[in-house]
Amino acid sequence: MVSGEVPFVVCVSSDVAVRERVVRRLDDCGAVVLCADLSELRAMLFPAAVGSPVSVPANGLVRFGELVVDTAGHLVTWQGKPLALTRLERELLARLASPPVGVWTYERLFDTVWGGAYLGDTSILHSAVKRLRRKLRAAPDGPSVETVRGVGYRLAAA
């Protein structure tokens, strides 16, 4: 290595313990990127390939079965009945329900809901999801937010 260069290490492992060991052993060595699988690494290296920017339909309505998120009207309904959600919870639910419905990585949720970069600390995201789950449980036969361990979240029908 040429003097002044900083090494860049990429670790791909589904095992959290392995990733933690790599961080401990390479501490102060240089930049370390940790990924749970190759799809996460690809998403990090080539973000444009993951999917196009998320857009809300022109009418502002995002539908998932009988769930309707009216982003323009700041209203969420389940089977026609309003759900009392905060602005952040509405935005998070709108993203999870946006087509194509699938797994939303932590990084993508941080970017689209909070408008900022994912810095590895998922505590505010976990807290928001916990509050959203509690409120969705009150909706009979309503959708639920599922965890995709080490990757992110997805919205699932009951």
Report residue 57's pLDDT band, with 50, 70 and 90 as the boundaries. low
Average pLDDT of the residues in 55-69? 81
Show the CA angle centred on residue 60, arms to residues 57 and 63, nearest 5°.
75
User: What length is written for the chain?
Assistant: 158
What tokens appear for 128 in the block? 């928001």
Cα of 15 vs its chain's centroid, Å: 20
Cα(67)–Cα(139) distance, rounded to whole angstroms?
Answer: 10
Average pLDDT of the residues in 72-86? 93
pTM, rounded to two decimals? 0.64
What tokens appear for 127 in the block? 């807290």
Is the per-residue pLDDT at 128 higher than 90? Answer: yes
Show the CA angle centred on residue 99, arms to residues 94 and 102, nearest 5°.
90
Cα(81)–Cα(2) distance, rounded to whole angstroms?
Answer: 64
Q: Rounded to the nearest 5°, which phi and psi values hold at 104?
A: -105, 120
